Amino acid sequence: MPESDLLLPPIQFPVLGNSGAIGLFSLLHIALAGLTVGFIVLAPVFEYFGIRDPFYTRLGRSLVRFVAVVFSVSAVFAVVMVELFIGLFPVSTVYIFRLFKPAVYIAIGVFLLHIWFFYTYWYRWEKTREKSIPRHIALGAAAAVLILIWGGLLDGIGSYMLTPGEGDMGGPGTSDFVRLTFLTNPTWAPLALHRFLGVLIISFYAIALYGGLQLLWRKPKGEEEAYYTRVMHLGMVIGTGLLLIQPIAGMLYSFQIRRANPRAYERILFELEWLLRIQFLLIGLLFYLSNQFFAQISSHPRRSRVLIGTLLLAAFFMVLAAQQVWIRRGLTLVLILITLYHLRHVPLRETPQHRRGPWLAISVGFCAVATFLVMGVIREQARRPYTVYGEIRLEDEKQPASELAQR
């Protein structure tokens, strides 16, 4: 067969374009995957606390049930996303697989092992707990550790795509051991930390959303009302507590991006200004809604109104000063301090006296997921016009697939 007959033209996805198609299915997958990872990690922790308080056992089982139900939907989005990436970005696919082949094999093995532990944990919930509760918790803990290892391996590949270089992980000639550890890439650890905290935040806020929905939809009474109220408050209190830590992880991550890839950092600040402002608008809204939730049960309502007014002003100027890094960070500190005040003065099991409580919890849940997704979009857009920064441009994907053998 003549060589000219082997030249395959690049594939163009209709309407959305190649990047848009992958971006759509990536966001659909990430929204569910973030929650499933967080719930898998939290379930054995709640079950452990459930040894003394049955409330946590019931909540932990609800989280596992959610994961078992939505796993197939999330997996479908993931499969479509991977298939599109292989078909629409063949150069990047081959390059990444060649570079990280051992890590990809390990990630596949870890994920398959995780599935076994997780579904054993779910389907044998009653039988294993009847024999040994610690043994059942160990099954859940093993599933949680494995999913975190899997996520860490993917974060390692993702960090390389944004900040590769000879000083980090090297090129294709670097040893497999170095590529497997990812320890020499400056953005791997802060990315993993930042994403893990983000997963926990959206997970706890989703728990609050679930409690709020049940209170509004089912209108339970007695013990059921007390249970869902406690679920809502637990999610709001711990989710907001983690929200106070996340800006520190975000600053560490942005510092490492600036140090390892100044051009990408400048692109985020200036070329992606509109996305950056949306991100901080959502963050400000997240702080505002959380504080409104706690202010309604504050023992000092007048003081809370003043503080929330101050928070609104700080959030407004934070969005305006999105490109002035140190001013923005100072205003973020104001949001943190006001939120910390409300957290310190709110009892965990207090029942809101205002009907807005469940509505605020639901709003916070959706806002948290939106913030999580926008941050992911910004990180992906920072690489343009590359798929692997400094290595493969978007235009490289337009070459015939048969030319990959020459790379």
Residue 144 confidence (pLDDT) above 70: yes
> Of 29, 109, 19, 10, whose CA–CA distance to 76 is shortest?
29
Report which of residues 183 and 271 the model is more confident about.
271
What's the domain range around 102?
A: 8-185
Size of the chain, expressed as the number of residues it contains: 407
Structure tokens at 78: 């993931």
Structure tokens at 170: 């090297």
- Cα atoms in the 13 Å half-sphere on the side-chain side of 38: 23
pLDDT digits (tens, 9 = 90+) for 356-384: 889 999 999 999 999 999 998 998 899 88
Structure tokens at 169: 């992980």
User: Residue 102: is the preceding peptide bond cis (ω within 30°)?
Assistant: no
- Dihedral angle, C-alpha 37, 39, 44, 45, nearest 10 °: 110
Residue 107 confidence (pLDDT) above 60: yes
> Of 193, 32, 44, whose CA–CA distance to 129 is shortest?
44
Q: How many CB atoms lie within 10 A of CB 402?
A: 13
Is residue 149 assigned to a domain? yes
Q: What distance lies between CA 269 and its chain's CA centroid?
A: 21
Q: Is residue 220 a contact partner of residue 228, using CB atoms and an 8 Å limit?
A: yes
**DSSP per-residue codes, 377-397:** HHHHHTTTTEEETTTEEGGGG
Residue 384 phi, psi dihedral angles, 5° rounding: -60, 145
pLDDT digits (tens, 9 = 90+) for 31-55: 899 999 999 999 999 999 999 999 9
Residue 406 confidence (pLDDT) above 60: no
pLDDT band at 405 (very low <50, low <70, confident <90, very high): very low
pLDDT of the residue at 173: 47
**Distance of alpha carbon 287 from alpha carbon 340, whole angstroms:** 11
pLDDT of the residue at 345: 77
Is residue 160 assigned to a domain? yes
Number of separate domains in the chain: 1
Is residue 213 assigned to a domain? no
Q: What distance lies between CA 66 and its chain's CA centroid?
A: 17
Q: Is residue 236 a contact partner of residue 293, using CB atoms and an 8 Å limit?
A: yes
| 201 residue type, one letter | I
Is residue 30 assigned to a domain? yes
Is residue 37 assigned to a domain? yes
Is residue 28 assigned to a domain? yes
Beta bridge partners of 388: 392
CA-based Rg of the chain, rounded to a whole angstrom?
Answer: 23
pLDDT of the residue at 83: 87
Residue 353 confidence (pLDDT) above 60: no
DSSP 8-state assignment for residue 407: -
- Asked whether the whole model's pTM tops 0.85, one would answer yes
Is residue 15 assigned to a domain? yes
- Cα atoms in the 13 Å half-sphere on the side-chain side of 200: 21
Is residue 61 assigned to a domain? yes
Mean of per-residue pLDDT scores for the chain? 87
Residues of 121-140 as b/e, b for ≥16 C-beta within 10 angstroms? bbeebeebbeeeeeebbebb
